[in-house]
Amino acid sequence: MSTERHFEETTLPGDVDLPLVVDRSADTPMAVQLAAQLRQAMLAGVLTAGERVPSSRRLAAALGVSRTVVTEAYQQLYAEGWLDGRHGSGTYVADVTALTPGGDADPAEHPAGSARSRSAHDAPEDGEEWIDLRPGRAWTLGIDPSVWRRAWRRAAAVPPADDPDPYGLPELREQLARHLRRARAVPAGPGGIMVTRGTGNGLDLVAATLLRPGDRVGVEEPGYRVARNAFAARGARVVPCPVDEHGLVTDGLPDDLRLIYTTPAHQFPLGARLPITRRERLIAWARRTGAMIVEDDYDAEFRYDVAPLPALYGLDPARVILLGTLSKSLAADVGVGWLVAEPALLERVAQRREDLGDRTPGPVQTAVAALLDSGDLDRHLRRMRLEYARRRAVVVEILGEVCPPGRTHGPAVWRLRGDTAGLHVSVELPAEVVGPLVAEARRRGVLLDVIERHYASPAGPRVHGLVIGYGSASPTRLGHACRILAGLLAEARRKAERPPPLGSSSGPAQDAIDVRSLP
């Protein structure tokens, strides 16, 4: 029989009753239960940004649980970005607007960039610099300085245009058409290519052109938060569409979607590659329903097992809009991407773009055209493929000892996923392990992202674990960070797989507490 305890509010502001229920008889660990309820309260706006939450000691005492339970729940929420610690003054609810489907878009302009946070402290406890393994950045130090300067000298010699073309510079579109045909088997000429400021800009242009308020739009779940926000900002109703071991689940897609967003080359964040059978089923679904497919090709240049699959766009240019970016192949700061579509549709996008006063700066377009024309960008890509392959090997070799790549028998945990492409891998873990592991890694100077952050819905089945980027850390520092992480993973796995002591008591079935009643 469950028992509940409620406390009257004393010092916390507000009048909302928020009972927290801890069920000791449930299979779900108490820390996970507590984190889920607090997360839901913050999503619903019951707990708002800037509110102080009770100390772990006080909440544990009120609930009658170990302080470790509350600490682990807080650590999980802190790692996910829901809570913010302020030195000497406690723990507060963070501004989570960007984590909700209708929130403002993340300023990062490609999927892996959405994991980046500017809220890190100045330095870890040992005083060394952070080793940032959150995904989102390319190895910008790999750019040849002489090549970079030469491209910008060419850009500086071209006077600015007084009437920018909404499609982009013709010479750059010609270069991009050749590049995409060669690298991604994209059958598009210059008339089917628009130069954008990156994937985020392309998403907004597509949404502004095709969507009406109330239109239903599918987005992978888990998936790219910026895509969800871009569609929601234009009045669309975002529909989470599940992914599995092979990427987007194409069976059972709703027939009333106006469009669907997908990352088939390297699903973000789990890393699957959409197989040809599913690609064909997705195209067949789009033809039958009249929906459009938005293909985000954000890191397709980098593949380590086989040659990259051709872009989905090539299967049906009339039903697919292809978005690409230089943020991974060169640098996010360049701010150049592309939108590929049938010329008739692209003309509509261009007209909408002019209405919005949106454009891509001419000088940067000229510089990128120079990089493509000279072959310097292709040479850079070849070097980076080798460089990232070496880094990927470091990650797989060290972490693979604890979490082997690929599938497992039984529960799909303690394994690497998505290690064959791109600049990040995911590590699937039991839910209760993630928060404490991220917090301890941070204490030792290693910054990590969690898969949980990339779900739109706070409920439902999900994959738990880490998203580890290896693009920006030097090989030496990457290896050092992975050894720290491997040690933490090994210890966490030993604890998780250790059988419970004989004769342990589960205690009362349930307790409940109003968190807002505690100072």
- In the prediction, which pLDDT does 218 show? 97
| β-bridge partners, 241 | 220
pLDDT digits (tens, 9 = 90+) for 360-373: 999 999 999 999 99
Provide the residue type at 284 as one letter: A
pLDDT digits (tens, 9 = 90+) for 375-433: 999 999 888 888 899 999 999 999 999 998 865 444 568 999 988 888 999 999 999 99
Residues of the chain with pLDDT under 70: 1-18, 44, 76, 78-81, 84-89, 95-128, 306-308, 406-412, 500-519
Please state, in angstroms and rounded to a whole number, the distance separating the CA atoms of residues 347 and 345.
Answer: 5
- Helix (H), strand (E) at residue 513: strand 510-514
The four Cα atoms 97, 77, 451, 328 give a dihedral, to 10 degrees, of 60
Domains of the chain: 107-141+380-497 (3.90.1150.10), 145-375 (3.40.640.10)
- In the prediction, which pLDDT does 264 show? 95
Decide: 267 and 245 in contact? Cβ < 8 Å: no
- In the prediction, which pLDDT does 500 show? 64
Percent residues over pLDDT 70 in the chain: 82
Query: Which of 295, 346, 335 is closest to 166 using CA atoms?
Result: 346
- In the prediction, which pLDDT does 227 show? 94
Q: Which pTM was predicted?
A: 0.73
- In the prediction, which pLDDT does 171 show? 96
Query: Which of 185, 387, 173, 214 is closest to 300 using CA atoms?
Result: 185
Burial grade of 25 (CB within 10 A; 0-12, 13-18, 19 or more)? exposed
Rounded alpha-carbon distances, angstroms, from residue 95 to 27, 62, 84: 31, 26, 9
